[in-house]
Chains A and B, each alone.
Chain A
Amino acid sequence: MTPTNTPTLKDAVRYGLLSGLIEINLSAIGFILLLHQRELVAGAFTMGHLFLFTAPIGFAYLLAKKTAAHSRSRVLGYGAIIGALTALPLIILVFLATAFDIRQFLLNISPDLITLLTFGQSVVTGSLILLAINVVLGMLSAALYLLPPQWRKMAVSGLAWVAISGTFSEILLGRLRSFFGRGLTDLIFTGKSLNPGFAVFILVAGALYSYFSQRRHARKEAEGDRSDATVLSLPIETINKIILGVVLLLLPVLLGSYLTEVTNNVGLYVLMGLGLNIVVGFAGLLDLGYVAFFAIGAYVMGILTSEGALGLGMGFTFWTALPFSVLAATLAGILLGMPVLRMRGDYLAIVTLGFGEIIRILALSDMLKPFIGGAQGVLQIPKPSFFGIDLIQPGQLYYIILACVLLAWFISARLRDSRLGRQWMAMREDEDVAEAMGINLVSTKLLAFATGAAFSGLAGAIFASKLTSIFPHSFNLLVSINVLSLIIVGGIGSLPGVVVGSLILVGLPELLREFAEHRLLMYGALLIFMMLARPEGFWPSEVTKRELHAFEEQHQPGTSSD
């Protein structure tokens, strides 16, 4: 890639300043302070701290990686420089904030933030502590690279275990308590977070786990029997599938009602994601107005079944209305698809965005108010019932959503491997060539739009009866952006990627409510980051992986002049 030259002092300064810039911005937008509310280790370490020190640790490690190959002696020094330069802008901020009233401009530079940055000490002592911690962490992180790889992996694994179990301690606590009672949880937790003793235990456990898994890996490698692995993998795969199936069936019992509710939301987004994945991932048509079909599905369900003033009162139940919702969304998909058939790429994106907005504005307008309620929305939509049982609990709705997701998954997977799927992918690669090969672009595109819209309509219908009321503001552009982001994060065109993306982008912010406030900021940053660093997503499909790597090989040497 780039010519390998030894990092110099200038690089260290640049990394340090960048790291400082990131931390001061994270502080200024209130991110750090908000996350400070979540304790990872009781009384010692919060998530705010974690993010406050992420940049220096990360940059020191990165630079150490580059430096260590050339000169091991400089590694620690550079780490210290990066740490110091990260602390410097923060210290300046602390002094400025105590001298002037910055808060009238930047409302998140609050006294609480200053307390956090100075660790509750006076300005001077606190600044020195901040500086010292940053320098030490920078050096430690750089030193990590000097360790033998085995030790390094152990250390990283242990720390990651603590961070993850600390992050989810509140959920962990709730679940463990409901299964094992107070005795166990009092041992592990103080308040809602891990107690320091147990944190050390997890650290050690994580390191040991890493040690043993590395040993096992090494042994496998030494035996090196590939044929053995494939023969074995068949039954193992089946067993894994069975375990997955059982877990999916028992999930509401394992998770409790709050987490099941979260899972349901994730499930709805998976459903939409699977639909958009067909449009964007398979057929390569960037649709930013995807929420329109979700809205249509929801409104049709609402109006058909509502017991309120807007309901048709024709005796529709959830199950009889469901096909109409899906049908209406599918028709809308075809209708909105027709005019844009001749557009490509970014024009298509903007036009579909326009469609999405038109639908939302119409739903809000006074013009359609007599039919769909305007801003007041449609109320009193009944929950679905199943053979006389009203499905009120999230744990009951879960099974409907699970069934729909599995169905959508099955359809997606079958379509992907079908003739139509191959046509979509051919069209995605090159429309002109695809057409020359005898692919009918009109019907192929319309089928993509229609299938995608059908999934979205299905999700919308469930959404309506799950919430029992719908309002136009639930159907804004952000939903489309969420769905698009989750496909990209998971991996465009990849079915497991949709689930991974939904878990990360929809599930995580619901579990960590502190994140929810800055959710869109992180979506934005994540989209950019993914495109720059990992365009194939976290769980890429095989095809995309191959393509992107082929692309990199073609364009790698010096195309971006930097």
Chain B
Amino acid sequence: MLQRLKEIDMLDLFLWVFRTVILVVVVWGTIATIIENPYPTQTWMETIVAGIAQGSLYALIAIGYTLVYGVLFMINFAHGEFFMSGIMTATIFLAGPMSASGYLDRHPYLGLLWITLVTMVVSTAIAVLTERVAYRPLRYAPRLVPLITAIGASFFWQNYFRGLFGSEVKPFPQIAPFAGKITLGSIVVLKTHLVVIIAAILMLIGLYFFVMKTKTGKAIRAVAENKDVAALMGIDVDRAISSTFALGASMAGIAGVLYALVFRQIHFFMGFIPGIKAFTAAVLGGIGSIPGAALGGLFLGMFESVGPGLFLEGLGIPAPHQLKDVIAFTMLVLVLIFRPQGILGERLAEEKA
């Protein structure tokens, strides 16, 4: 008994030390940076806006993780590929030719609408297909099994699109009304960042109402609560799960369009890292919760954008922006260790994790 207590204490001690070390590093770095004050206020403001925009993208992608996890308790590892597939297809088939023919300059909004529609359709189709082939037959298998197929699906789609469209980076055309900067009060922001933030807010509100008010949304929530009972209530569980995937993937598709507007580069591997980070965001906010995904995305985007400058610059680390992914992954680790239920999660993740 004493032996056991000792060991548990050791582990807690280790975790406590771990937490303290990271906290000290962060606080020390922040204070040092503030004293040193390497950047003007304007730069900080721009960094924060960029962080919010980045966070909005994460939030939109994170919705897919949260919805699927809420319903199936599985990490849909291939979700980042849903994000990539739509915008990649739309860039090759629509954006490229439309920009070459000048259509996009004449009708920028209409063109963007077409691109968005195609992106959403392709992303959704890929998601529903993946669910049908790789996840549905394994719904009652041990939990690691669908995770492994999800990893397989992720690599499959990446390399499938690489095979279809080639491995080089493809440019996404500049859309004229969104080019340049705009002054809001005292700060100057990129127009695209503003578009991303506004679009993400609108989409998230729309999604919230969809899930809360429509019949499909109700079915999804019922299935998330309890599949068997939902089936007894006359809900088609397979359909509800398909629509969950479709919903998440269409959000990811929109995130893809917004990503293209900001970064203007499309690549077959572009979904992977944002996918993992969006998962981090979903966990951060409390997986299974839609407002949580939004909040988590925002937090992660901010940390990633501001973090390297704020925490690491002061410690004298060269080129801290190379380490922004380290900050994101460290956050993932910290959240999962110390607060697995996330910021907004009420249900303890222990029973599901």
- Closest-CB distance, A205 to chain B (whole angstroms): 37
Residues A339 and B15 in contact, CB atoms below 8 Å apart = yes
Q: B353, A528: Cβ atoms under 8 Å?
A: no
Question: B43 interface residue, CB < 8 Å from A?
Answer: no
* Set of chain B residues within 8 Å of A31, measured between Cβ atoms: 163
Binding site for A on B (CB under 8 A): 4, 7-8, 10-11, 14-15, 18, 74-75, 92-93, 133-134, 136-149, 151-160, 162-166, 237-238, 276, 279-280, 283, 317-319, 322-323, 325-326, 329-330, 332-333, 336-337, 340, 349, 353
Smallest Cβ distance from A518 to chain B, in angstroms? 7
Contact, CB under 8 Å: B163 / A531? no
B340–A347 CB distance below 8 A = yes
Instruction: Say yes or no: is A527 at the interface (Cβ < 8 Å to chain B).
Output: yes
Q: How many A-B residue pairs have CB under 8 A?
A: 180
Closest to A338 in B: B14
- Told that A108-B163, A527-B152, A559-B139 touch, could you supply 9 new A-B pairs with CB distance under 8 A? A30-B163, A106-B164, A341-B11, A345-B143, A358-B325, A365-B319, A367-B317, A524-B151, A524-B157
Report the Cα distance A281→B329, complex, angstroms.
Answer: 26
When chains A and B are docked, how far (Å) is the Cα of A297 from the Cα of B23?
29
Please judge, given known A-B contacts A29-B160, A346-B75, whether A338 and B11 are in contact too, CB under 8 Å.
yes
> What is the size, in residues, of chain A's interface with B at 8 Å between Cβ atoms?
62
Query: Is B15 within 8 A of A532, CB to CB?
Result: no
The answer to whether B164 and A481 have CB atoms under 8 Å apart is no
- Closest residue of chain A to B238 (Cβ to Cβ) is A561
In this assembly, does A523 line the interface, its C-beta being within 8 Å of a C-beta of chain B?
Answer: yes
Whole-angstrom CA separation of A365 from B279 in the bound complex: 24
Residue pair A560, B137 in contact (C-beta under 8 Å)? yes
What sequence of 0s and 1s flags, for each residue 336-352 of chain A, a beta carbon within 8 Å of any chain B beta carbon? Answer: 00111111111101110
CB–CB A357/B325 < 8 A: yes
Rounded to whole angstroms, the CA-CA distance of A288 and B353 in the bound complex is: 16
10 tightest A-B CB contacts, nearest first = A29-B163, A527-B152, A524-B156, A524-B155, A521-B159, A354-B329, A366-B319, A528-B152, A366-B318, A524-B152
The residues of A that contact B152 with a CB separation of less than 8 Å are 485, 523-528, 531
Contacts A367-B317, A518-B163 known; A488 to B340 CB distance under 8 Å? no
Q: Which residues of A contact B151 (CB under 8 A)?
A: 288, 481, 484, 524, 527
Interchain CB contact under 8 A, A367 and B11: no
Q: Which of A31, A288, A355, A365 has the most CB of B within 10 A?
A: A365
- Give the residues in chain B near A288, CB-CB below 8 Å: 151
- A30 / chain B contacts, CB cutoff of 8 Å: 163
Question: Which residues of A in the span 14-53 have a Cβ within 8 Å of any Cβ on B?
Answer: 25, 28-31
Answer yes or no: A107 CB below 8 A from chain B CBs. Answer: yes
- A355, A362, A518, A531: most-surrounded residue (chain B CB, <10 A): A531
Partner among A108, A358, A521, A531 whose Cβ is within 8 Å of the Cβ of B145: A531
A353 interface residue (CB < 8 Å to B): yes
Shortest Cβ distance from A390 into chain B, in angstroms? 38
B92, A105: Cβ atoms closer than 8 Å: yes
Chain B contacts of A532 at CB under 8 A? 134, 137-138, 149
Across the two chains, which residue of chain B brings its CB closest to A286? B144
CB distance from B282 to the nearest CB of A (A): 10
A520 contact from B15, B142, B153, B158, Cβ within 8 A? B158
Q: A361 an interface residue at 8 Å Cβ cutoff?
A: yes
Tell me whether B134 and A528 are in contact (CB under 8 A): yes
Tell me if A358 and B353 are in contact (CB < 8 A). Answer: no
* Nearest chain A residue, comparing its CB with the CB of B133: A528
Interface centre among B4, B139, B163, B333 (most CB of A within 10 A): B163
